[in-house]
Amino acid sequence: MEKSIDVIPEGMYCYTRNEDNKVKVCPYWEKIKDLPEQMDGYCHYIESGDSDAEGLSLLWDMCKECGIKDEDDERI
């Protein structure tokens, strides 16, 4: 199946909230239940997860690693 960026939420997280404040999770994001917390996030779009990362990865906390539709971080 071809991957589509159209379904990836805007912003820095692997989810978005609609007008009713309901959370819609990116269809590529998954929590791997057999792994320890802070190592259990996985992105099927980039085919990588926290347990694969060399260094810090925040997929477990639903922070994007793909960089698609990610807002520019203009905080000082």
* Enclosing domain of residue 13: 7-61
Cut 0.85: pTM above it: no
What is the number of structural domains in the chain?
Answer: 1
Residue 9 pLDDT? 94
Q: In the structure, what pLDDT confidence band is assigned to residue 76 with cuts at 50, 70 and 90? A: very low
| N residues, the chain | 76
Flag whether 57 is in a domain.
Answer: yes
- Tokens matching residue 35: 């792994």
Flag whether 21 is in a domain.
Answer: yes
- Determine the average pLDDT of the residues in 36-64: 91
Flag whether 43 is in a domain.
Answer: yes
Distances (CA, A) of 1 to 5, 15, 24: 13, 22, 21
- Determine the average pLDDT of the residues in 41-61: 90
Flag whether 72 is in a domain.
Answer: no
Tell which wins on pLDDT, 76 or 54: 54
Flag whether 66 is in a domain.
Answer: no
Residue 1 pLDDT? 64
